[in-house]
Amino acid sequence: MAMVDKREWKSPIFDGLCPTAIDWAMMAAYVDGEGSVLINPRRGRLAEYKDIACTFYLKLTVANTDVRLLVWCKEKFGGTFKDANTKKYYEGRNVKTSWHWSASSTRAAWILHNCLPYFIIKREQAELGMQLQASMGLSAGHKSLPKEVVETRREIKRQLLTLKARGRDLDSVEQRQMDEVA
């Protein structure tokens, strides 16, 4: 199996992993139901940037109380999983341990790109995450980010937050589906 450059996330193979079509469909369902698409600020990593808001990274998470799901995610797609410290937050209550699996940056974009045909709920969020990751190549070789790149990344982050805050309006989804048919 040929290795693919980690910067090339628009491929079915990444870091030696090659999930099946069923794996991609299952992962899309888990992200839709138990996951989150996040754009987080990268803190303290790039000291030359005075404006920390311009340094974002893509993060994809899946959470569940059954660790077998997170082990499957790690085996099929890489990433990491850990105990979400449930007991710390719910001390004294009878609460099951929650587990979080995550993937960041190019790995997260690879997963979103290949799950895209299967998403029901998180398609728009995935598209924004991939837009952010695509903008990462725009800063190669620059000491500082061009202002338009910074503004593009801020706008993508804003759009994702807006999309998550308002949820999906069923009428707009139905209208989009009608437009696709026409």
Express each pLDDT in 112-158 by its tens digit.
Answer: 999 999 999 999 999 999 999 998 865 555 556 778 888 888 899 99
69 phi, psi to nearest 5 deg: -65, -45
Compute and round to an integer the Cα radius of gyration of the chain.
18
- 150-166 per-position pLDDT tens digit: 888 889 999 999 888 86
Phi-psi region of 57 (alpha: psi -120 to 50; beta: other; left: phi over 0): beta
Overall fold of domain 21-181:
Endonuclease I-creI (3.10.28)
- 32-60 per-position pLDDT tens digit: 999 999 998 876 544 454 554 457 899 99
Handedness of CA 119, 120, 122, 123 (dihedral sign): positive
- Residue 56 CA to residue 162 CA, distance in Å, equals 17
Cα angle value 173/174/178 (rounded, 5°): 120
- Residue 14 CA to residue 135 CA, distance in Å, equals 19
Task: Tell me the whole-structure pTM to 2 decimals.
Answer: 0.78
Residues 6+ apart with CB under 8 A from 64: 34, 70, 98, 99
Q: Return the domain boundaries, the chain.
A: 21-181
